[in-house]
Structure 1
Amino acid sequence: MNARLRDIEQLHIELPDLDWITDPNRIERLSQDFSWFSPVLKRQLDGKVADSVVRPRTEDEIRRLVAACARLKLPLTIRGSGTGNYGQTTPLAGGVVLDMTGYNGVLWTRPGVARAQAGIRLNELEKATRPTGWELRCVPSTFRSATLGGLFGGGFGGVGSINHGPLAAPGNVLGIKAMTIEPEPQIVELRGAEAMRMHHLWGTNGLVLEIEVGLAPCQPWLETLVTFADFDQALAFADEVARAPGLAKREVAFFASPVPDYLSQLAEHLPKGCHAVLSLVAEPGEEAMKAMAAARGGTVSYRRSADEVARSHKTLMEFTWNHTTLHALKVDKTLTYLQTSFTAGQHVQQITELTKRYAGEVFMHAEFLRTMDGQLSCSALQLVRFTTEERLAEIIQEHRDYGVRINNPHTFIVEDGKAGGDLPEEVVAMKRRFDPLGLLNPGKLRHHPVAG
């Protein structure tokens, strides 16, 4: 038996009252996320598994676990619900996976703001805020299962970003409570910009316990699909709806052909070969939205009121963002995807030109949003017909040479993925402050490789 496993046994002996998961199949499953969206990550992360998984329920249980892991120098990988796509929750160095889903209380809600423990599922948090007239500003398409901590640690934006920008935009996250990873863990409250130094870093530079987020007033969202025979008219309609200042909306997504063909659960509403625009527009804006669609030659093929959506427990939100990719992969396993940020004011031209350039190989799916400084633009999660890793790398570089940003979803290194370069010194300093022993999710930061 190696030293690591003897340390794991010691951990179990010291903390017998914790909820340990010992079944090998469950440990393997809880060591994974949706990184299989990428054939590159699927190959690179094959066989990487934790030595043990634990699901603490209280801050004291987390503190005792962290103290013991620090003392034994055991790697610690933090996990929400594993809905990420980059191998964030896959431990490269074994050790312990800390499953936060048992730490899931709502601490309080107030007008425009709420605070909850990191393991709460976003859907459950919104259930707590809606009776008071407020909803979450930004949710991923995986909102039913994704956790608040997972969104903060691994998410960018989502449904609602068309109004409030990415999660990192000032005012969306107001503060966090975090714990240091050392034999005597310290609890620290971080506010504003300082709190965001732990955002979107996959739990590599801090263990977040609580998160305080801004809320938005609830609206009765009408869910629609509008289909088009013409690419340019479909894209122009999507852009027009997104830009319309008097039209309240929560989501606008553009699906160029053949993307709608992969949404098999909506097949009766999406004619073969069509281009489609999915939207959530406040119900009072329906007449204006329909007039805009008709002017562009669009057909409303699907319509559900807010009450109908609530009664059915089915929502078009689960066909947006990376759920689109998931639905497509269920139909065609040869596909993978990109993550592209376009230039505000040039996004329509860029989408049009790139769609033509990669016809038959890269299929456009664009999500309208506000940038960090409030400008309307798009991010795309294009579907890619995968052939080789070399060709995939060429496509990524060609997009960058064209002048758009690619957040590479085919790497498990933070700097090479979302950061696109070295991390700011203040983020590295946060790593030193909160993880002085280098035990958090080792191997995911280029400047801090796996020990040993």
Structure 2
Amino acid sequence: MNAPASAIEQLQLGLPELDWITDPNRIQRLSQDFSWFSPVLTRQLEGKVADAVVRPRTEEQIRQVVAACARLKLPLTLRGSGTGNYGQTTPLAGGVVLDMTSFNELLWLRPGLARAQAGIRLNEIEKAAQAEGQELRCMPSTYRSATLGGLFGGGFGGVGSINYGPLAAPGNVVGLKAMTIEPEPQIIELRGAEAMRMHHLWGTNGLVLELEIGLAPAQPWLETLAVFDDFDAALAFADQLARAPGLDKREVAFLASPVPDYLTQLAESLPKGCHAVLSLVAEAGEEALAELVSAHGGRVSYRRTAAEVSKSHKTLMEYTWNHTTLHALRVDKSLTYLQTTFTPGEYVRQITELSRRYAGEVFMHAEFLRNMEGQTNCSALQIVRFTTEERLQQIIDEHRAYGVRINNPHTFIVEDGKAGGDLPEDVLAMKARFDPLGLLNPGKLRGWPVGAAS
């Protein structure tokens, strides 16, 4: 007598025409993201793997999977390209990983706007927009592989946030289409602030199918590295460049020593022990940029025009944001990182004081951006020399006691990663509306632990 089919077997037998990934090694790989940046998450997520991975190509195929999972009470974890760092695509309760990367059509481009399916890679939108004189407002350093849905579900901002702020700023995401997780899935369009109730929640409270986003006018960006012997001079230059109203820019990053030493592919342009400022400034502003560098005692050690970048397919953008951490970890696997938000008007002092306090242990990498109120500010992705989990938590606690915000990248709980505290009631209501059975990525929200739906 044959044993009854498991829920996973029933799912696959009922939908044989879908693209099921069955190789155990591929399932394991597609159950992971870049959470190995964190030694804490590496320990906590060890052995967590999906029972199955499916790669739908159409909205109807997605609906079929969702309906079947809802009927069988199978956990469902959404995945883009897995470029996140928080274990957000790692299923804690097995079940199905829904790989969205084949659901990837660019639906339309208009002046200032684009709409696309969630699985499209950001670079595809960028290339199509540039052909029409436009570009993405903000994108992660992983834009070549990261998906639109992944950016929305797990991203904060990135290159371009110096102009347009974080992704959550009004106008950056205009609307979305999402599917409810129930035996008869519903398709619902959300606009404006209501759409943002699914943002940065790791696919725990809704399955996003399409996103409508703001675009910016394209510029030919000059990519430069400016190097300095003095920490204070480099930081002062970065701050003045970020705030300069007459200079169009897409990226300003401050890399204090020894961070530049870890960027080994740029070693010819980064003298050992230097402090560096990486920037993308409009080519028309090169003369003004050079004057600012000189006034602060630095020199431009690397310069590429937009045409040179396009021809070489190599860009400094892939040394910014959490790509900086990736380059450092490739050199020294004992490193990890923090995510810190400073205070407008106080960030130069805060960066200086904290860098001195943790000299030799926490290395400053600060990204300039506009905050939700339009003020110039910094978010840091400091590189940390890891010793123990207890010491890492002590550093986090001390930063918070000092008065800066830490979004803890060493937890897989959404609320804890946002510095603690419950989610707003309207976000919880969205979860109940779109995932009434609690099947989406269970265990990542405090109120929906693993097994809550059973």
TM-score bracket, normalised by the shorter chain, equals over 0.9
Shift in CA distance, 4/165, structure 1 to aligned 2, threshold 3 Å: farther
Query: Is 1:182 matched up with 2:187?
Result: no
Deviations along 1:231-277, one digit per CA (max 9) or x if unpaired, are 00000000010000000000000000000000000001000000000
Tell me which amino acid in the other structure corresponds to 2:335.
L
Matching residue of 2:100: 100
Instruction: Give the direction of change, closer, same or farther, for the CA distance of 1:5–1:202 in structure 2 (3 Å limit).
Output: farther
CA drift at 1:143: 0.2
AA partner of residue 310 (structure 2): A
Alignment-derived partner of residue 336 in structure 2: 336
Give the unaligned 5+ runs of structure 2: none
Partner secondary structure for residue 317 of structure 2: helix
- Cα pair 1:116 1:210 within 8 Å, conserved: yes
How far the C-alpha of 1:5 sits from its partner, in A, is: 7.2
Runs of 4+ residues deviating >2 angstroms: none
Q: Which residue number corresponds to residue 57 of structure 1?
A: 57
1:303, distance to aligned residue in structure 2 (A): 0.1
Letter in 1 for 2:412: F
TM-score, structure 1 as length reference: 0.99
Which residue does the alignment assign to 2:89?
89
Specify the code of the residue in structure 2 equivalent to 1:390: E
**Mapped contact 2:75–2:95 kept (Cα < 8 A):** yes
Paired residue for 1:42? 42
Listed as ranges, the matches of 1:163-174 within 5 Å are 163-174=163-174
> Equivalences for 1:15-30 in 2 at 5 Å?
15-30=15-30
| Alignment match, 2:310 | 310
How far apart in 2 are the matches of 1:244 and 1:281?
Answer: 11
1:241 alignment partner in structure 2: 241
- Please name the residue that 2:320 is paired with: 320
State whether structure 2 residue 203 is matched by structure 1 residue 210.
Answer: no
Moved more, 5-14 or 241-250: 5-14
* Pairs within 5 Å for 1:231-380: 231-380=231-380
| Corresponding residue number in structure 2 for 1:418 | 418
Partner of 1:444: 444
Measured after TM superposition, the shift of residue 284 of structure 1 is 0.3
The CA distance in 2 between the partners of 1:319 and 1:47, in whole Å, is 31
**Partner amino acid, structure 1, of 2:32:** Q
Task: Tell me the TM-score normalized by structure 2.
Answer: 0.98
Q: Is the 8 A contact 1:57 1:103 kept in 2?
A: yes
Instruction: Indicate conservation of the 8 Å contact 1:201/1:414, yes or no.
Output: yes
Q: Are 2:122 and 1:112 aligned?
A: no
Give 1:140 shift. 0.1
| Deviation (angstroms), 1:448 | 1.1
Aligned to 2:189, what secondary structure does the other structure show?
strand
Aligned partner of 1:195 in structure 2 is 195
Helix, strand or coil at the partner of 1:101: coil
Amino acid at match of 2:367: E
Question: Counterparts of 1:384 and 1:131 in 2: how far apart (Å)?
Answer: 40
Q: Is the 8 A contact 1:139 1:158 kept in 2?
A: yes
Partner of 2:67: 67
**Preserved CA contact (<8 Å) 1:341 1:406:** yes
- Whether 1:79 aligns to 2:79 is yes
Task: Give SS of 2:279's match.
Answer: strand
Q: What is the aligned partner in structure 2 of residue 126 from structure 1? A: 126
Shift of 1:418: 2.4
Structure 1 position 130, deviation (Å): 1.0
Rounded to whole Å, the distance in 1 between the matches of 2:105 and 2:441 is 25
Q: Distance in 1 between matches of 2:148 and 2:171?
A: 16
**Where does residue 6 of structure 1 map in the other structure?**
6
The answer to whether the Cα contact below 8 Å between 2:405 and 2:419 also exists between their aligned partners in 1 is no
Asked if structure 2 preserves the Cα contact closer than 8 Å seen for 1:224 and 1:302, the reply is yes
Residues 122-177 of structure 1 show CA distances to partners (whole Å, capped at 9, x for unaligned) of: 00111111111110000000000000000000000000000000000000000000
Instruction: Judge conservation of contact 1:258–1:274 (CA < 8 Å) in 2.
Output: yes
8 Å Cα contact 1:176/1:189 also seen in 2:
yes
CA distance, structure 1, for counterparts of residue 429 and residue 314 of structure 2: 44
Q: Distance in 1 between matches of 2:19 and 2:119?
A: 15
CA contact (8 A) 2:406 2:419 kept: no
| Contact 1:114–1:212 (CA under 8 A) maintained in structure 2 | yes
Q: CA RMSD in A?
A: 0.9
Q: How many residues align?
A: 450
Sort the Cα spacing of 1:5 and 1:408 in 2 relative to 1 into closer, same or farther, 3 A.
Answer: farther
